[in-house]
Structure 1
């Protein structure tokens, strides 16, 4: 089989294998290469083969079909672009598509990374397109001798790490909302805050859109997993489901808090705009009759009061007093009508 590789993938030479381990049944494991993995059979009771593969490499679908006898439709699902979380049982095989937070440089929390999974109890294959940290977490535990002891424990540990990594993104969003709630909105520019809140709401909606189906997928694993998925594995994945449920509840709270903050900012902005418009209206109302009166007495036509009486000493002061009286009367009326 000819393999072509994307230069951005860390695919090992000679195949699509990113890494492989043979679990020894005691929490540890030994490395295995691509060639050694072909036609693998356990040398000792309790050994489990785990292969982490780049699904974008050419020939992966055909390899899944020929090496493991996976049906074509299932192999297409494992290597395709349909990454909505789901899980189902295919005889004694478990098939799942799960998603995790994208911690790659330049990625946003809502840019989820998918991981496909297939296992028959003795062999487990995980596939991904973009780098995902969850398998590496489990790999470090195996190399330290503290990893899973069988295929069921490996599945539960992978899902546990996948869900636990969401905590950082959710905590960051909650901290940001708490910071905004402590701000004095009257002293802050509302436009940048509204933009930040809109980003948080978008992140919450994206996480909720992906994590809701993942909750259903994990429940399907717990409820309808093959026989090699033991009782303690079901209990472990039940804990992961409960943790994911709490995270979904936290996302709901963050989303509602963001809506409340956005409404408060908008109401303050509207109140400030209304207050400014009211002040401008009052100023215009006070000065409109005065402007009319001054303009009327300022026109250069005959017959205006005191215009033809040379040296009359009271014309200017009379007009000034009249303007002052009209202004005071307007202010008193506004105060009586409670417009001020």
Structure 2
């Protein structure tokens, strides 16, 4: 396991660490809500069996902070293997049962507005009988929305326990992923229209970028479907039996996302086939046009080549038959009319 610098309890209590942001929301056993519960009093909230505690750890990307490691190890006393998985991005959704608590890795998806790619956002969750610890290295929109919802209605949002609170988070995460899929679907439609309108090599880059995102989406939600299935069916100690049906609802949404991702791959494959077909037809049109230009100028080349040969000396004395101006105009007329005649012949035969 990676070694991290030691952190003192004083550092955790004061929050003097620029790389980590801690936020604790606590509903005690009497129903009173504390929106900014002190970090140094987490032990008190954990011992309250009738209360509900939510600790959100927003760590800096890259090297995990010693404060986060200290809270997970010394305050909540999680297993070192679970802490190791949480402090690094695993990119694989899973669920581990540690008897007294559950450890989950869940992913939400969004579209990166700058790179125009699918972006995975990992959330590590520790679910206990009366607490919920969320750890992430980027600000997650659905967690911020959930916190605002709790602040606007503090007495109702956390009264059903930590497992129901987890359901709310996962449900918002899946809704965010659905929005990302809708954006991918819209981009496929735009690319299809652009492919039919004009040939542009950049369209091929867009097609492969969307294809990569669809494959990544399917690989992400396949194990996530198993995680929610286990939450909905397995008898975990920290998940109330009456709350499993909520996770089953989220599971149905994830199955829908997985099915949509497969259909997106089919649409992308069809778009790629359309692009290649349009490109092939465009190449055929170009070759047909060039061939017709060559055929149209064949009579002109024949006339110039034939009368340019020296059959009877240095030059053919045609000026004895016709004036020079008539020869010149006649040659121009013949050479001009021969391509027109070839073009008319090609259109009559429906070659063009």
- TM-score bracket, normalised by the shorter chain, equals 0.7 to 0.9
1:221 maps onto 2:223 in alignment:
no
Cα distance change on mapping 1:28 and 1:116 into 2, 3 Å: farther
TM (norm. structure 2) is 0.79
**Counterpart among 278, 282, 286 of residue 288 in structure 2:** 278
Q: What is the CA deviation profile of residues 231-274 of structure 1, one whole-angstrom value per residue up to 9, with x for unaligned ones?
A: 23211011001011112222222332232223223312211220
TM (norm. structure 1) is 0.81
Matches of 1:190 and 1:266, distance apart in 2: 12
CA contact (8 A) 1:23 1:150 kept: no
How far did 1:80 drift? 1.9
1:157 maps onto 2:160 in alignment:
no
**Could you say what secondary structure the match of 2:169 adopts?**
helix
Structure 2 partner of 1:8: none
Structure 2 partner of 1:32: 37
Cα distance change on mapping 1:312 and 1:165 into 2, 3 Å: same
Cα distance change on mapping 1:286 and 1:107 into 2, 3 Å: closer
**Counterpart among 145, 165, 171 of residue 137 in structure 1:** 145
Structure 2 partner of 1:92: 100
Structure 2 partner of 1:7: none
C-alpha RMSD over aligned residues? 3.5
How far did 1:50 drift? 1.5
Give ranges in structure 2 of 5+ residues lacking alignment.
1-5
**Could you say what secondary structure the match of 2:157 adopts?**
coil
Aligned residues: 330
**Could you say what secondary structure the match of 2:92 adopts?**
coil
Report matched runs for 1:103-142 at 5 Å. Answer: 106=114, 108=116, 110-142=118-150
Report matched runs for 1:1-340 at 5 Å. Answer: 2=7, 13-14=15-16, 16-24=20-28, 29-30=33-34, 31-38=36-43, 40-43=45-48, 46-55=50-59, 56-102=64-110, 106=114, 108=116, 110-143=118-151, 144-145=153-154, 146-148=156-158, 149-181=160-192, 183=193, 187-224=197-234, 226-288=236-298, 290-299=300-309, 301=310, 303=312, 307-308=316-317, 311-313=320-322, 316=327, 339-340=351-352
Give ranges in structure 1 of 5+ residues lacking alignment.
4-10
Matches of 1:109 and 1:27, distance apart in 2: 44
Q: What is the CA deviation profile of residues 193-244 of structure 1, one whole-angstrom value per residue up to 9, with x for unaligned ones?
A: 4443333223222222222222222223223352231123211011001011
Query: Of Structure 1 and Structure 2, which has the larger fraction of its residues in helix?
Result: 2
Q: What is the CA deviation profile of residues 25-52 of structure 1, one whole-angstrom value per residue up to 9, with x for unaligned ones?
A: 7987312122121464444x52022211
Which gives a bigger RCO, structure 1 or 2 (Cα 8 Å, sep 6+)? 1
